[in-house]
Structure 1
Amino acid sequence: MEKNDINISDLERILTGENPWLFLVEVFVRTVLIYLLLYAVLRLLGKRMNAQMTITEMAVMITLGAIVSVPMQITERGILPTFVALLCTIAFQRGLNLWAFNNGKVEAITQGEVSLIIKDGCLQMKAFDKSNVTREQVFSQLRKQKVQHLGQLERVYFEACGHFSIFKHENIKPGLSILPQQDKKLWEEQPKADGHFSCFRCGNTIEAENEPDQTCNNCDDNHWVHAMDVKEKQFD
């Protein structure tokens, strides 16, 4: 478009571009056909596309969006090439899933791996570094599950799909509080476990009469706080 062609008062050009008004009818027909085609493709891709998506499934969704957007509006592009591209996407996705099913290494590369991020109430710092997840993000998810301190937890796994799988201890031990420090009132109201201190960074809990003057043997930090001794009390 030339500079002289720009006219802010030309509403017809702004609304329809260089196409006649009848083209809007064609856009409607194209959109309906592409929608039905995309719906059929999603059904063929399976139920996982309706749930939490993996990395490869997210890539497929972005690809589908790029494929179907062009033929809806551009007159020079037909629908048949889009149909072929969608079939190729289905074949690629199903082929990759089959390959991953038969090869564990391929599955780990394409889908990701499960990470053990909390073990016996203690944060696994190496797993945190590899998982690209922060301490506060994990604590936020734990609070949603009514967890108040790490001593309530036996295992927490960070799944490949981004979910957290939480397994609680049957016999709760003293542990590091996961309540926000900003809520000082609730933090101070939590019952403290006498003779137990927790590493503020990783939650490693040890027995001591007074605040330890040593580094944590799990994360090498030296910030200790009183361990909490909450049993079955739930949030209101």
Structure 2
Amino acid sequence: MDLDWNKLFIGDLDFSFALEIIIRTLMMFSMVLLILRLSGKKGVRQLSLFEVAIIIALGSAAGDPMFSKDAAIVPSIIVFGSIILLYRAITYFAMKSEKFENIIEGEPIYVIEDGKFVLGVHKDHTFAKDEFFSEMRQESIEHLGQVKTAILETTGNISFYYYQDDEVNFGLPILPKPYKKKLYQLTEENIYACTYCGNTEKLQAGYHSCSRCDQKEWVIAINNVRLT
């Protein structure tokens, strides 16, 4: 079967409409950009799930008028106005009610406390340990024992609070190479870290279950201070 390249790339496009597509695109893009600027946000990492939903709705309203002859610009502007009014109303009620704000925006989640993972986080399938380790490495964190508390904010940012150098404990390594050397049968006495919860224990050779989470996967713990 011969491929119709003209139909694939051009279809029924009327080239006299091409200039109008450019004008429509510039207008709708400018409207989306203006509304995002008015929201006061400086970057994507500052957006909550609710605000991401608003952006998706704006993109949907802006998309069709950019290239469709049957989609006028004014109805899309009305949609924009409705979305902004909804956004303002919800943010107003969120300011008045902490419970309502938590429903809309979500709540910060404690990921690490006292150098160990908070166990409940691992039961939430939206938590990606590898991605979290990547975030830690970008903050020059080598192991969990350097971190007193880590909080996953509603914007997706992570807030870290560190131990002083003289307070650093043995912790679970988060660099790729040490973490990949997982052990089920320990061959020597040493201080080990549970790969599931980050709990550290001094263990003899043999098979052991974590006293905190009952998992049986270990790596050798380290206690290096954090380099800044």
Same fold by TM-score, threshold 0.5 exceeded?
A: yes
- 1:206 equivalent in alignment to 2:201: yes
How far did 1:52 drift? Answer: 3.0
Counterpart AA for 1:230: N
How far did 1:65 drift? Answer: 1.3
- Residue 4 of structure 1 corresponds to none
In 1, Cα distance between equivalents of 2:72 and 2:128: 47
3-state SS, counterpart of residue 156 of structure 1: strand
- Residue 127 of structure 1 corresponds to 121
Q: Percent identity?
A: 26
How far did 1:48 drift? Answer: 4.9
Larger RCO, structure (CA 8 Å, separation 6 or more): 2
- Residue 177 of structure 1 corresponds to 173
Any unmatched runs of 5+ in structure 1?
Answer: 1-6, 188-193
Counterpart AA for 2:201: I
- 1:142 equivalent in alignment to 2:173: no
Work out whether residues 45 and 94 of structure 1, in 8 Å CA contact, stay in contact via their aligned partners in 2. no
In 1, Cα distance between equivalents of 2:198 and 2:5: 66
- Residue 35 of structure 1 corresponds to 29
Query: When the two structures are aligned, how many residues end up with a matched partner?
Result: 219
How far did 1:16 drift? Answer: 6.8
How far did 1:229 drift? Answer: 2.3
- Residue 115 of structure 1 corresponds to 109
3-state SS, counterpart of residue 90 of structure 1: helix
- 1:15 equivalent in alignment to 2:44: no
TM-score by length of structure 1 reads 0.78
Distance 1:225 1:49, change over 3 A: closer
Range with greater deviation from structure 2 (212-221 or 137-146): 212-221
Distance 1:10 1:114, change over 3 A: closer
For the aligned residue pairs, the C-alpha RMSD in angstroms reads 3.2
In 1, Cα distance between equivalents of 2:59 and 2:140: 39
3-state SS, counterpart of residue 46 of structure 2: coil
TM-score by length of structure 2 reads 0.80
